[in-house]
């Protein structure tokens, strides 16, 4: 498992998939915060550096993952590919799964 040098404080866990190597996972938010606080970058400088030098640095199939936490709805809207019917269905599914989870607890 490869680790992202200098980002130990942003490590949040590992990710696995069938037949694939285990990957280190880092919080994007924590990585940006480290660059700002530790290295004295502005938020914009940290974003540019992080996206180009860290996320953009492929070091093979064990390259770490950088996770940006968000809701399912936010993720669906990233590419602008979700339409209103899909959005409503996703919201309905989330509400239903939350209700069933509460009943099962």
The DSSP result for the chain, as a single string, is: ----TT-GGGEEEEE--TTS--EEEEEHHHHHHHHHHHH---HHHHHHHIIIIIIT---STTPPEEE----HHHHHHTTT---HHHHHHHHHHHHHHHHHHHHH-
Q: What angle do CA 78, 80, 84 make, to 5 degrees?
A: 115
Which of the four pLDDT bands, split at 50, 70 and 90, describes residue 88? Answer: low
Residue 84: the pLDDT is: 62
Residue 65: the pLDDT is: 97
Beta-strand pair 23-27/65-67: parallel
Task: Work out the percent of the chain whose per-residue pLDDT is above 70.
Answer: 77
Residue 34: the pLDDT is: 97
In this prediction, residues 43-65 reach a mean pLDDT of 95
């Amino acid at each position: 498992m490869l680790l992202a040098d200098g980002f130990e404080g942003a490590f949040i866990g590992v990710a696995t998939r069938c037949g694939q190597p285990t990957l280190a996972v880092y919080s994007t938010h924590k990585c940006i915060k480290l660059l700002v606080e530790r290295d004295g970058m502005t938020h914009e400088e940290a974003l540019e550096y992080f996206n180009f030098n860290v996320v953009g640095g492929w070091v093979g199939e064990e390259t770490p993952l950088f996770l940006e936490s968000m809701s399912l709805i936010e993720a669906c809207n990233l590419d602008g590919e979700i339409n209103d019917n899909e959005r409503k269905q996703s919201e309905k599914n989330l509400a239903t799964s939350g209700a069933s989870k509460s009943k099962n607890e």
